[in-house]
Amino acid sequence: MVISSSNTYSENNLDVVNINTTKKINLNRFTQNGQIQIYKSSYRGSYSSIIRDSLRNAALGRKVLLIQFMKGGVKQGIDNAVRLCGNLTWVRSSNSFDQYNAEEIENNENLKKSIHESTLELWNFCKKELQSGENDQIIMDEIFLAIDMKIIDKDDLISTLENRFLSGDVILTGTDIPKDLLLMANQITELRS
C-alpha cells in the first residue's frame, strides 16, 4: 500500500489510502520506564566509554548524574560537584578509596572511617536523586566495589532500585556483581580487554 499526498495520483490509484488531516487526533503522551543497565568488567577503570556516553547524553539535552563511589579528588564531594555541558553533574567522593593504598587504609582506623562516611554520604545523596525523578540518567560507577567492601548494603541498593522514580535510566558498574542485581537488570554488558 502506498500513501501519497498527491490528489491526482490517489484518484487514479485505488491502492492509495486517502488520509483526512482535518481531524485532529489527541494522543496521550506516556513516559517509558527507565532501564537498569549493568556494565561488568574483570578489572577496574574500564568504564571510560560510559563516561564518554554520559557527556554525549548531557550535550544532547539529557540531565545526567554521574556518581563515582571509589574515585575522589581535591575538594570533591557533594558540595563541590563538577557541572559540564549544562546537564551533567559529576560527583566524586570527598575522601575516597583511590586516594590511598589499601595497606594505608587498613592500618589507619580514622582514615578508614572517613572513607566509609564519605562513601555513605554519596550513597545517601544518590538515593535521594533516584527518588526525585529529576535525572534522565544516573550512573553509579563502581558501586559494586562499595558493596564488596561492606560500605553500602546490597539489600539497600536493591530496595532503592525497586522503589526509584521509573522514568530515568540507571547504570551500575563494577567487577563482582551480586546475582540478585544481575537478575534486576534490563541489560548486562560485559566489557573485555
Tell me the pTM: 0.76
Work out the percent of the chain whose per-residue pLDDT is above 70: 77
pLDDT at res. 32: 52
Range 34-191 has CATH code 3.40.50.300: yes
Domain boundaries, the chain: 34-191
Distance CA 109, CA 107 (A): 6
Query: What is the rounded average pLDDT for all residues in the chain?
Result: 80
Distance CA 191, CA 193 (A): 7
86-102, pLDDT tens digit by residue? Answer: 899 999 888 777 667 77
Q: Which set of grid coordinates corresponds to residue 86?
A: 549544562
Distance CA 50, CA 169 (A): 13
Is 60 exceeded by the pLDDT of residue 126? yes
Residue that is written with C-alpha cell 550535550 in the block:
59
Distance CA 85, CA 64 (A): 10
